[in-house]
Every structure is written in C-alpha cells, then in structure tokens.
C-alpha cells in the first residue's frame, strides 16, 4: 500500500482488463482533499492505494466494489505475492466449506464426556473408535452382558451392557449432531452473496433460523430442554 495523489477525485476501484484476460486493479481508500483550488494552485487529492491483479472472467469490478472494505482490508494485510483471486467469493466459499468440514471432523474426533456411576469419562471418536463402538453395539444386540472398552488414557476394562449402551448412544448423538450442524452451515455459506459474509462465518456460530434443517432444529430444541 502506498499514498497516491491526483488533481481530481479518484475512482475507488480502477479496473483495467488486459488482452490476456487479467485485470489490473487499483483500490483507493481514505481519499481526502489535501489542497483546495486557489487562483495559484490546483486542487489535489490524496488516497491510500493498493494494486492487485485478478482473472477478469472470475472476478468482476462489481464484485470488488460490492465488497470494497473486505478487499482493501485483506490486501493491506497480505504480502504482495498473494494471489488476489483467492479473495473472490467463489474461492472464499470453497475455502470456507473445506475449513468447516475440517472443523466438523476435528470436533467429532475430539469426542465426548460421559458420566458413568458419578464419574465423568472421556471417549475420543476417531473413525476407528466409531467403528469399534459399532462392533460393541453388535455385541450388545447379540446378548453380551458386558463389553471391554477404555476411556482415553486408560487401560481396557469391562463395561456393563447398560454402560456401553450409554456410551454408544452419546457417541452417535455427538456424531450426528455435528454432521447435521455442518450440513446446515454449508447451506448458510452457499447462500452468502459477499466474500466478507463468508469470511465472518466460524464453526460453532449460531446458524440463522432459515438455514437450519428440520433435524438440526430438533437437536437444538432437545439441548435447550
């Protein structure tokens, strides 16, 4: 970013497409009149300017204008080598969906706390843990009175069928809740019309009512009861 001067008020976004389809883009912000016109002097304006290049077939001038503060703020913080195409709404949408997916997976893997006989026990839920629990469920369905399993950081021990069922139910609800929440978050992200709106979304945020699925609404209602 640098300061630029002009004898006339400047466009906030100067967008020039080259023959190869790449657009040179100048963003000007914080413009101010530094020299009023007098009989001796021409008026002069000053503004902060940032230059970038984008693919004109992907990112239009209108898109940048509609989300100017986001573009200017992001470019002012990023190195000159940064690919400005990554700030486009579809690029941010793809990146955010990937981010949310990873956060969902990590939240599931982090597991659950289950209270058994007055003791809180933690169980991680990586894929192999989930598969293991499905196996335990099959054992219980087949009539097993107890199952060997272990909480995080502890050796295996026997859990009664009722205790194991409590663990399995809590695990299934945790996985299903996170996946349901994540899917509703995808719908929220897909509806956004500005990159700044997408960027502001974080996993764990309260999802607006209109993007909540029927299943998510039921889960949230159950949590609040």
Last residue of a domain, one of 87, 112, 145: 87
Let me know whether 159 and 217 are in one domain: yes
pLDDT of residue 1 exceeding 90: no
Q: Give the confidence band of 132 by pLDDT, cuts at 50, 70, 90.
A: very high
Contacts 24+ apart (CB under 8 A), 96-104: 96/189, 96/198, 96/199, 96/201, 97/186, 97/189, 99/203, 100/182, 100/185, 100/186, 100/189, 100/201, 100/203, 101/182, 103/203, 103/204, 104/178, 104/179, 104/181, 104/182, 104/203
pLDDT of residue 225 exceeding 80: no
pLDDT of residue 85 exceeding 90: yes
Provide the number of structural domains found in the chain. 2
Question: Per residue in 150-176, pLDDT tens?
Answer: 999 999 999 999 999 999 999 999 999
Looking at every residue in the chain, the average pLDDT score rounds to 95
Of all residues in the chain, the percent with pLDDT exceeding 90 is 89
Question: Per residue in 42-84, pLDDT tens?
Answer: 889 999 999 999 999 999 999 999 999 999 999 999 998 999 9
Let me know whether 142 and 172 are in one domain: yes
Give the residue numbers spanning the domain of 8: 2-87
Last residue of a domain, one of 18, 53, 87: 87
pLDDT of residue 43: 87
Let me know whether 215 and 135 are in one domain: yes
């Amino acid at each position: 970013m640098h300061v630029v001067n002009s004898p006339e008020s400047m466009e906030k976004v100067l967008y020039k497409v080259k023959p190869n389809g790449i657009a040179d883009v100048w963003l000007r912000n914080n413009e101010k009149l530094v020299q009023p016109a007098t009989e001796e002097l021409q008026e002069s304006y000053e503004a902060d300017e940032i230059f970038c290049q984008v693919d004109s077939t992907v990112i239009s001038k209108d898109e940048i204008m509609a989300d100017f503060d986001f573009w200017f703020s992001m470019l002012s913080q990023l190195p000159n080598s940064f690919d400005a195409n990554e700030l486009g709404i579809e690029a941010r949408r793809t990146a955010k969906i990937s981010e949310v997916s990873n956060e969902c997976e990590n939240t599931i893997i982090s597991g659950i706390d289950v209270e058994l006989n007055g003791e809180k026990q933690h169980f991680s839920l990586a894929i192999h843990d989930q598969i293991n629990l499905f196996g335990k469920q099959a054992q219980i369905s087949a009539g097993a009175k107890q199952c060997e399993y272990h909480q995080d950081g502890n050796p295996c021990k026997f859990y009664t069928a009722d205790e194991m069922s409590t663990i399995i139910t809590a695990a299934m609800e945790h996985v299903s809740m996170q996946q349901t929440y994540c899917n509703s978050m995808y719908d929220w992200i897909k509806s956004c019309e500005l990159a700044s709106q997408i960027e502001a979304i974080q996993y764990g945020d309260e999802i607006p009512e209109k993007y909540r699925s029927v299943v998510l609404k039921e889960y949230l209602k159950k949590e609040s009861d």
